[in-house]
Structure formats: C-alpha cells, structure tokens
Structure 1
Amino acid sequence: MNTNAAGEVSIPFAHPVYIRSVLDCLNSRGIRPSTVLERAGLGWHDLHDEKQMVDFSVFRRFVAHAIHCSGEPALGLMAGSMLQPYHSPVGIAAMSSETLGQGLQFLSRHSRLIFGSLEFHFEMGPRLSTLKVKPSRPLFETRVFVAQSIVGAYCRLLEAMLGRPADELVVGLPYSAPKDNDIPCLRYVRRAVFEQEHLTLQLPSELLAVPCSCADAKVFLEASQACQKMASEMRHGGFVQRVRHALLDRLMANPDVAELASSLGISARTLVRRLAEVGMTYSDIKDDLRRTHAASVPAAHRLAGGDDRVATGVCGPDQLRAQVQDLVSGRPEQDAAGAARGCAVERGGRAVRAVDVRPEESVRRPFLPVSQAPVLLTP
C-alpha cells in the first residue's frame, strides 16, 4: 500500500486539469491561485498534464482552502462549468460522437481518466436514461463540492453535444436541500431532487438518438485512441514514470535507449518491450519531455481568434480535429517572431508566451498525453 510523506494512504483522485479549472474559477473571482495552492501543499509544477492524479488527502485540503478563500459554497458548480469539454480526449470523443447516446456511453466507460475514484454507470430505460455517479470510497466533506462540479461540467458537455442547453436534464443530488432554499444548482438545471443515494443525471431516452452537433468520425476515432493509450498508461504508469524521470535527468545529454536502459538496470530490449505493452516508444517519451520542457515556463494560455462557439465549449469539427491532433501528436510549432524571441510557442490554437505574464493570471494548459492520467469528465 502506497503512502505519502505524511504517512497517509495515497489515493490518486483527480487529474491536474480539474485542479486547474478550479484555479481558473478562483482567479476569475480575484483570488490569487498561488495562495490556495500553497496552503494545500501544491505547486505549479504539480499541475502539468504529465503529472499523476492529485492525491485525495491533498484534494481535500485544496477544496477546503478554495471554498474558504472564495466564500462561495457553490464554487464546485462554477469550477465544473469551466472544465471545458475540449480540454481532454474524453470530452473531445464525447462531443464528436455520432449521437448523444454514443457520447454518454463513451463518457461512462472512460470517466476514470479524469476522476480516479468515481464510477459512472449509464443506464437506458424506455422513458429515461440515467447516468449514475458512485464514489468508490468515502468523499467526506468534499462530496458536495465534487457533486456540484460534476453537474456543472456535465451541463457544459451536454450543451456542447446538443448545441443548446439541456433543459430536459433532471439532477438527483446526494445531499440535503439548503435550509435557506437557495439552490445554486438551479442556475444550471431546471429541476433538482435532493437526498438521493447517489448523484444521478437523467434525460429523456428519446434524446439519445439526437445527432451530436460536432459529430466527426475521424475526430472520434483519434480521441478514442488517445483515451485507450491513457488508460493503458494508468495500468502500467509506474514503469513509464520511472523512464520519464530517468530521461528527464539526462535530457540534455540526449541518451539513446541502450544508455537509459543501462541506467535503469535493465536491457534495452526489456525497456522497448515494456513501453510497447502500453503503446509507447522511447522516442514518444523523449519528444513529449522536450515539448513539456520547452513550454514549462509560467505562461498564459488563451484561445486564439475569439470564436464565441469555442468560448462556450461548442467547437466545430475542424477545431476539434486540431485539438485532438495535439493530443495524439502534440507537435509544437514556433512562429518566426516567436523563434526570434525564443519566448513563444503555439499549439492547438493556443498562444503560450513566457514574457510579462504571471502564472497566477491563468492556469489552463492544453491537455497532453500523460503517463499517469487520472473527471469529468470533461466538461
């Protein structure tokens, strides 16, 4: 059983992309993200996509400090709605599915890539389809925050898939109604039912046959492959992380596979074989580390062009294809001006500039292939 530095049992819980969405929400409310990170025992370096999921004990501290600093009991809803569908291959695959039903089924199968301790079960009945979210371990005081964030993210995902708000959605919440009758959830859905055993999200079954507004078979296939790769890395992540760390220490020396294998005490053939078992190659890891290293300076990430559909999480097939190509290949391209200054990298329509930007101004980063992937989800 793994334990952390404080002697607590280590429970991987949430992917860094989810933590960054909460920090984005705090930043939009005038709260310095660095303050919450420091109090939770996190650093900016813990928020890279290549990092492992945030441990549950750390997540509990993070949520407590985030709610305390914001003074907003509905912070989970707000943060969840900022977790854009196109920030993960799970969301991209769901959005590019042929129909709403296919997308929701895909979501239920791959939700653990975002939240490691939540199980999503999709049930189709004659009148209603229900997505049930069950925690695989107690969530303690974070259960309201987690439930709210899933509702916010799910509403954003449904809007992206349908091309309109899902007014038919009925939400069952696993906690009591507020005594003051102030129900923040009603800002996002028209009907909410409290004191349910688990979080439930219901839609009329007839909606499952509705085509997704961003349906694209090629994008769906590529995003599905990215999810399969992430899931494989989760199962074999220990060895991949070991290779990454060893290579990172020697990255400037550019060791070949035999040299790195020797430093790990294994043969080059064994290293290649074990990476192949998770669908990776030595070159994949080396290229990914180089890209991450090049973009690891504190930077602000923003969508280029100001497309309203993108800003609301509703992307067209061409934009989705560009996003998923970054997920699969992630080739950064440096423009001429950026090359001259050595400070600009452009990837997937996002400009990364290392000058005159403080890290707390924005924490959203493009979603890259990871060795330790983890919610929601996408949204």
Structure 2
Amino acid sequence: MDESSQTFRTPSVSASLTQAVLLAAARLGLSREKLLAACDLREAQLGDPDARIDFPRQERLWEEIQSSLPQQEPGLALGRALSPASFSALGYLLQSSTTLGDALESALRYQRLVGEGGQVIIEAQPESIWVAYRPLNPEQTATRARALALLGFWARQLKALLPGLQLVGCRFMHSQPQHLEEYEAAFACPLHFSASDYALGLPKSMVGAALPQANAPLRDLLRQHAEGLLARLPSASVSGRVVALLGEQLTRGEPGRAALACELGLSERTLQRRLAEEGSSYQQLLADTRRQLAERYLSEGNLPATDIAALLGYSEPSVFFRAFRHWTGLTPGEYRQRRRHSCG
C-alpha cells in the first residue's frame, strides 16, 4: 500500500448523539430547522440511530448553539436539557451494568459508538477515580460549550445510576469565570480551572458499589450488540487502530512494532511519527492495553495470574508481576483481594 496516498477518516459522531443535542436545543427554545441548516444536515441523515455524522458538522452545530443561547454558559444549560433516552445502546448498557466500575469500563470501551470528538480516559488515584475527557480541537470556541454539556450530563447520569454519589472534584480546561453559581449547581464539588483536561472525580470507594438498575443478562446482550457496532466502525486515529490490534494479538505473544506497522499499511517510522502526532507511542499503548486487560481479568474472574500473564503476551510471569506492581503498587494477588473486598 502506498502510504503517501493513504488517508485517515474524518472523526464522526453517532446520529443518536446529534439527535439528542438537537432535541435539547429545541427544549431551550432554539429552532431545529435553523440548527440543521447551520451544519448542513438533513432529517434523513438522522433516522438511523447508529448512523454517523462527520464531526466537523457537529462542531458547526455547537457553534450555532453557543452563539444562539442567551445563558451565560450555554454548555451547562444544554447539558441539563439532554435526555439519556437519546443515547441509544451505550446509555442502556450503562444503566444495566452491575457496578459503577462496570459502567465506567463499558463507557471507556464503547465511547466511540457515541462520538469521536474527544478521548475518555479513566485515571486511578489513591482515593479517587477521575473520568477525564480530552476534546479534539480544544482551541475552538465551541469546544467549551460541548465539553461542559458532556460533563454536566455525565454528572447527572452518574448520580442517577448511583443515588447519593458525591463528586470529589471537577476539572475544566478554561480559566475560571467570574460567576460560579451554574457550576456549583451542576457539580456540587470542588472546582479546578485552567486544567489540562475536563474531568469528573469520583470517590474510589464507590467503584464497586452495586447499581440499583443492574441487569447482567441485558448488559451481556447489549455488550454483544455494542461489540458488533464497534467492529464495523473504522478507527479515526492510528492509536485507536493500534489498541484494537494489540487487544486481538496479545494472546499470541507481544506483537512487534514492525509487524504491527505492516498490518496498518505503514512503515515503522511512519507509525512512530503518527503516534507521536497523537501524543502517544507504541510502548505507552502497549502498557496501557496490558494494564486495562490485567485489571479486568483480575476483577472479573478467577484466572491464575500466570495464565493472565500469558494472555497479555508476557514470555515470563515474573515480567508481568513486576510490570503490574509498577502500575498499581500491588501484586496481582493483592489487587484481586482488594477488589473482592471492595465489592463485598
């Protein structure tokens, strides 16, 4: 393949997300027809909830919303008006999850089904878990409204999933505004501005808490549906494609960077450059993928740590044990014991 002529697909969002934003904007008094015209969309493009809309059109939609709403923070206003019923399979999957941690894991794995306007990352700290959002084009004026709507909606949904949940903090990329009343009403927690991302902080002790609407059979059915949708969705980034290949190939041993580049139709040097442009690297993606899979295997089943090491492509269990202690400060056995204690 001639990599000089290879093009990478424009990021996209689901039609269901676009519908949700349009419905919320209409609830706030904006004209649906005017919004559709502003982003060059037709009603026929929104009929299938699993259809995709190019992200640049979604950005134009947010620009129109931000300039048209009279509220001081249009994003927070729209976040309050968003309906969870409009988020299709992922929303129902989160509601049917067994624990808060289970819901967060599904949100992380299937985030692209909703949209590719940014990256969701779960950060574990000693006393808290941060659900971080790193938006595409953070310098765009409308990104602030888009990210605030997302964070405000997340906060509502998390509290609906687990009544009594109190956020431990919230981070924002923009500088502190003069008036904070809307922020305090939306998040009710310490607020941190001029941060490197947008994020919600959750108490780590709540991760194993059971969700009142848990339905494991329905969750498993929805996961199967989500996996099918994910498999048909091309990756908008090289890093996303690398992670997908790593998850598939690790059981056969650690895939070499050169072999992975070949599967992507790139030279090894081009792969390194493209990953660097996305703020990543092969080694970092490999470590992140292994850690996420290791934590899932240790939390969900009874596989011996030696078998988990093999599934993660390690030639020796001792190498896995050292890596896991470096990531978490715990041995695999200690991690599993803590997870069982927190869920018990």
For normalisation by structure 2, the TM-score amounts to 0.61
Which residue identity lines up with residue 96 of structure 2 in the other structure? S
The alpha-carbon distance between structure 1 residues 169 and 90, as it changes in their structure 2 partners (threshold 3 A), is farther
Task: Indicate the residue corresponding to 2:30 in structure 1.
Answer: 31
Residue correspondence of structure 1 range 222-371 to structure 2 within 5 A: 222-235=221-234
* 1:224 Cα deviation after fit: 0.8
The answer on whether the counterparts of 2:122 and 2:131 sit within 8 Å (CA) in structure 1 is: yes
* 1:100 Cα deviation after fit: 0.7
Task: Indicate the residue corresponding to 2:156 in structure 1.
Answer: 156
For normalisation by structure 1, the TM-score amounts to 0.55
The answer on whether the counterparts of 1:12 and 1:52 sit within 8 Å (CA) in structure 2 is: no
Residue identity over aligned pairs, in percent, reads 20
Which residue identity lines up with residue 157 of structure 1 in the other structure? Q
How many residues are aligned here? Answer: 230
What CA RMSD, in Å, does the superposition of the two structures yield over aligned residues? 2.6
The answer on whether the counterparts of 2:167 and 2:200 sit within 8 Å (CA) in structure 1 is: no
The alpha-carbon distance between structure 1 residues 212 and 75, as it changes in their structure 2 partners (threshold 3 A), is same
The answer on whether the counterparts of 1:85 and 1:95 sit within 8 Å (CA) in structure 2 is: no
Could you give the per-residue CA deviations for residues 296-332 of structure 1, whole angstroms, max 9, x where no partner exists? xxxxxxxxxxxxxxxxxxxxxxxxxxxxxxxxxxxxx
Task: Indicate the residue corresponding to 1:214 in structure 2.
Answer: 213
* 1:214 Cα deviation after fit: 0.5
The alpha-carbon distance between structure 1 residues 37 and 157, as it changes in their structure 2 partners (threshold 3 A), is same
- List 4+ stretches of structure 1 deviating above 6 A: none
Q: Output the CA distance in 2 between the equivalents of 1:47 and 1:202.
A: 33
Task: Indicate the residue corresponding to 1:71 in structure 2.
Answer: 70
* 1:120 Cα deviation after fit: 1.3
Q: Tell me the secondary structure at the aligned position of residue 120 of structure 1.
A: strand
Task: Indicate the residue corresponding to 2:18 in structure 1.
Answer: 19
Q: Tell me the secondary structure at the aligned position of residue 58 of structure 1.
A: helix
The answer on whether the counterparts of 2:144 and 2:174 sit within 8 Å (CA) in structure 1 is: yes
The answer on whether the counterparts of 1:41 and 1:58 sit within 8 Å (CA) in structure 2 is: yes
Moved more, 39-48 or 220-229: 39-48
Task: Indicate the residue corresponding to 1:188 in structure 2.
Answer: 186
* 1:86 Cα deviation after fit: 6.8
The answer on whether the counterparts of 1:25 and 1:78 sit within 8 Å (CA) in structure 2 is: no
Q: Output the CA distance in 2 between the equivalents of 1:73 and 1:60.
A: 19
* 1:51 Cα deviation after fit: 6.2
Which residue identity lines up with residue 130 of structure 2 in the other structure? T
Residue 120 in structure 1 maps to residue 120 in structure 2: yes
Give the number of the structure whose residues are more often helix, by fraction: 2
The answer on whether the counterparts of 2:173 and 2:197 sit within 8 Å (CA) in structure 1 is: yes
* 1:20 Cα deviation after fit: 1.7
Q: Output the CA distance in 1 between the equivalents of 2:73 and 2:6.
A: 33
Q: Tell me the secondary structure at the aligned position of residue 234 of structure 1.
A: coil
Structure 2 stretches lacking a partner, 5+ long: 237-344
The answer on whether the counterparts of 1:10 and 1:56 sit within 8 Å (CA) in structure 2 is: no
Residue correspondence of structure 1 range 94-105 to structure 2 within 5 A: 94-105=94-105
Q: Output the CA distance in 2 between the equivalents of 1:236 and 1:137.
A: 18
Q: Pick 1 or 2: higher relative contact order, CA cutoff 8 A, min separation 6.
A: 1
Q: Output the CA distance in 2 between the equivalents of 1:48 and 1:40.
A: 17
The answer on whether the counterparts of 1:108 and 1:120 sit within 8 Å (CA) in structure 2 is: yes
Residue 60 in structure 1 maps to residue 59 in structure 2: yes
Q: Output the CA distance in 1 between the equivalents of 2:53 and 2:159.
A: 28
The alpha-carbon distance between structure 1 residues 37 and 75, as it changes in their structure 2 partners (threshold 3 A), is same
The alpha-carbon distance between structure 1 residues 79 and 10, as it changes in their structure 2 partners (threshold 3 A), is farther
Q: Output the CA distance in 2 between the equivalents of 1:131 and 1:114.
A: 16
Q: Tell me the secondary structure at the aligned position of residue 188 of structure 1.
A: helix
Q: Output the CA distance in 2 between the equivalents of 1:69 and 1:10.
A: 30
